[in-house]
Chain A
Amino acid sequence: MTEIIFFINQVVISGLVLGCIYALGAIGITLIFGILRFAHFAHSELMTGGAFIAFLLASAFAAWGIATPIPTGFVVLPLAMVLAAILALGIDKGFYAPLRKRGARPVTLLIASIGVTLMIQGLIRLFFGAGSYSFFENEPKEIFRIDTSAIGSTRPLVITEPQVLMIVVTLASVVALHFFLTRSRLGKAMRAMADNADLAQVSGINTALVVRVTWVIAGALACMAGTMLALDVTLKPDLAFNIILPIFAAAIVGGLGQAYGAIAGGLLIGFAETLAVFNWTMLFRPLNAILPDWLQLPAQLALVPTEYKLTVAFVILVVTLLVRPTGIFKGASS
């Protein structure tokens, strides 16, 4: 049983955590693509910026001496999400809206979003340097070790408090998003505009409002993803810049423009990355007792070496683009 617990620790939990973060980022990207028809590269900086906003708020809480039962990062999250949504609205107003008004092509907007990426990244590095920060300087990071000796394992099941909260919060926000998109008037308007922007406008939908709502949702979810990633690992200026491509991969694999596809794509990419670098010998080691001598498992039996972990997402991305460019949920075609 030890092997199975090890598998759960190494693959199921870390794949789920990674998948949740990818999914939250990919929802924002896919919504922006659905409504505004461009690939928003600066999403990574919304994530990092949101995480830094949350970090500042958490530091302020700690400075005021407010102690909370759950990690402060989660307590300040709603406030940080509001601020990040305002930031996203401001970026749209300042950089993308003038270009849209001029009737610029999606390609121009894509390049503009790269410019925004560079500016925000430059600013973050200007104020916070290149070092890394931790949310857990003033409080301990609680780690649950669940004893599994009852089922014959020598190893405990390890999961940290932020990871548990992260999975819960992601589930809650995905359900909330589902009800927003299917039940509310605005959510239906968003889906209508993603389907056909001109038709939506003709039938009296306030498209400017839909665009604003899209940015609010995207900014808030990006902040949530960034903060939770920073809570799980550490906070640094290139926190999300390095994972923006896996997130794009998740959005494309799920089908650009499809919110549910983004969630499925995020989990798929997250699990694919962890499964690809997992050393299968650790799971199948007991088989060595039954297998003949010439068929013993080697010490290393991973599909790809650990240093190629991020590459897995790119390979999936390229293969998806080739074999099924619309993604698994039939998004906008290429």
Chain B
Amino acid sequence: MIQRSLALFGGLFVLILVIGWVMGLPFTSSRLVEAAAYALIALGLNIQWGYGGLFNFGIMGFLMVGGAAVTFISFPVNPEFWGSDGPMMLGRALFAFAIGALIVLAARQAHRIGITGKWKGALTVLAWFVAYVLYRSQLDPAAAYIESAGGGWVGGLGAHPVLGWLFGGVLAAGIAYIVGKICLGLRTDYLAIATIGISEIIRALIKNMDWLTRGTLTVSPIPWPTPLPQDYQAGGMDIASSLIAARAGYLVLALVVLAIVMWLISRAYSGPWGRMMRAIRDNHIAASSMGKNVTARQLEIFVFGSVLMGIGGAMLVSFVQIFDPSSYQPINHTFLIWVMVIVGGAGNNWGALFGAVLLWLVWVVSEPLSKAVFDFVSYWSTNAGWGAIPEIEARSAQMRVFVLGLVITIALRFAPKGLIPEVVKREG
């Protein structure tokens, strides 16, 4: 088993070297930073799916939450907003939200004053409606005001990006708690559909709340936690080596985060907590008969996994320096992660790590590779008198979706447990 893992990681290293040699160091260093962030996200999914057997198909939503969080924390302050009536109006909207929440909570306690059954249901619906109208009546003017006169959007806080990453994790945890409370009672495929639905709701909100996230107008440039290439160039370095130096700095920071997370979750996996989680995953009825609180533990693991997704999403956004809500797609940000974990090996952290790096490289390389193949075929067909293939650029950009689908179907058919499968220890 160890030998096989080492051989696979050795192969991956050779692949990285080949890509570095063919595509150049600046390209490869960027891809490696992204691969590190994706590895963090894949570890998050591995906790949820591999340890806990939870079917989270809403990864995209958590990545977006992380990205919005790091934008909010690390982007420079927008003085125009803070000097306007905007904060005051937002405060009123928050107050309306709180009152709405109180109304709903009160309606849910209606049985105490003797309203039960259908009447209570009707009252709850009515309370939700009143709360919604109340909140909208305060938020809509505030949003319209901020977007037109109050500085365009809220802006950031100007704090250090690493704080933004942490906040991304915290925010993702909060949302995961709510989502988990709502959905975790559902069976697997219902859970998958419900989480996809929730991630689409999150995407619609972030995309359209222009006053908070600037929506489709996008936010850039988001600061880096490490020195930028421009900083190195100011010190007299040439462009190519400044790119490499800056990205190497970012990569080191990302790898440090990754190593800490890896150490923590590996310890958790082999400890009593991890054993309990696997017991729940394999037979939750037996686990609950041993006195384990299955619902609470599953909620716990859902929140932990989502924290990593939030942090990973934040790292990606601060690396590319732009937060563009319309660039988030379920294929790139949910299904890709699933393929990473399944191909790598669900339940095994090294497998998830391996799958993340491998699949990210396959994902980014399949476009230039298929372009090369198309160019070759086109050259051949032109010589044979059949004419060239039209629109090679656009077509090869679509090839990676096909490659991703192919990889996952092959993996499910021939290596359903992944390339580095989970090691099942049998004690005693």
Q: Give residues in A with beta carbon < 8 Å to B.
A: 38-39, 95, 98-99, 102, 104, 106-108, 110-112, 114-123, 125-126, 129-130, 245, 248-249, 252, 305, 307-308, 310-311, 313-315, 317-318, 321-322, 325, 334
> Chain B residue with minimal CB distance to A127?
B395
Residue B96 at the A interface, CB < 8 A? Answer: no
Beta-carbon contact of A116 and B405 below 8 Å: yes
Beta-carbon contact of A305 and B208 below 8 Å: yes
Beta-carbon contact of A307 and B405 below 8 Å: no
Residue B55 at the A interface, CB < 8 A? Answer: yes
**Could you write out 24 A-B pairs with CB less than 8 Å apart?**
A98-B413, A102-B416, A112-B408, A112-B412, A115-B339, A115-B408, A115-B412, A116-B405, A118-B335, A118-B405, A121-B401, A122-B399, A122-B400, A129-B395, A245-B196, A307-B207, A308-B204, A314-B197, A314-B200, A314-B201, A317-B193, A318-B198, A321-B190, A325-B186
The majority secondary structure among interface residues of chain A is helix
For B250, list chain A residues within 8 Å (CB): none
Q: Distance in Å from the Cβ of B122 to the closest Cβ of chain A?
A: 13
Beta-carbon contact of A130 and B197 below 8 Å: no
Residue B238 at the A interface, CB < 8 A? Answer: no
Partner of A248, one of B193, B331, B398, B400: B193
Other than the given A310-B200, A321-B190, 11 more pairs (CB < 8 A) read: A115-B412, A118-B335, A120-B405, A122-B398, A122-B400, A122-B402, A307-B207, A310-B204, A311-B204, A313-B197, A315-B201
Beta-carbon contact of B186 and A114 below 8 Å: no
Q: How far is the CA of A67 from the CA of B63 in the complex (A)?
A: 51
Q: Give residues in B with beta carbon < 8 Å to A.
A: 55, 182-183, 185-190, 192-194, 196-198, 200-201, 204, 207-208, 331, 335, 338-339, 342, 391, 394-395, 398-406, 408-409, 412-413, 416
For B408, list chain A residues within 8 Å (CB): 111-112, 114-115, 118
* 10 interchain residue pairs of minimum CB distance: A122-B402, A118-B405, A119-B405, A125-B398, A314-B197, A115-B408, A122-B401, A39-B189, A115-B409, A334-B190
For A318, list chain B residues within 8 Å (CB): 182-183, 194, 197-198, 201
> Chain A residue with minimal CB distance to B374?
A126
Beta-carbon contact of B55 and A107 below 8 Å: yes
The majority secondary structure among interface residues of chain B is helix
Q: How far is the CA of A228 from the CA of B416 in the complex (A)?
A: 38
Beta-carbon contact of B208 and A308 below 8 Å: yes
> Chain A residue with minimal CB distance to B198?
A318
Beta-carbon contact of A334 and B186 below 8 Å: yes
> Chain A residue with minimal CB distance to B186?
A334
> Chain B residue with minimal CB distance to A105?
B188
Q: How far is the CA of A112 from the CA of B183 in the complex (A)?
A: 23
Partner of A118, one of B55, B189, B204, B402: B402
Q: Distance in Å from the Cβ of B212 to the closest Cβ of chain A?
A: 15
Partner of B342, one of A98, A111, A245: A111
Partner of B402, one of A111, A123, A314: A123
Beta-carbon contact of A129 and B193 below 8 Å: no
For A120, list chain B residues within 8 Å (CB): 405
Residue from the set A102, A104, A130, A317 with the largest chain B CB neighbour count within 10 Å: A317
Q: Distance in Å from the Cβ of B77 to the closest Cβ of chain A?
A: 28
Beta-carbon contact of B189 and A107 below 8 Å: yes
Q: How far is the CA of A49 from the CA of B192 in the complex (A)?
A: 24
Beta-carbon contact of A126 and B395 below 8 Å: yes
Q: How far is the CA of A103 from the CA of B334 in the complex (A)?
A: 26
For A102, list chain B residues within 8 Å (CB): 416
Beta-carbon contact of B208 and A245 below 8 Å: no
Beta-carbon contact of A119 and B55 below 8 Å: no
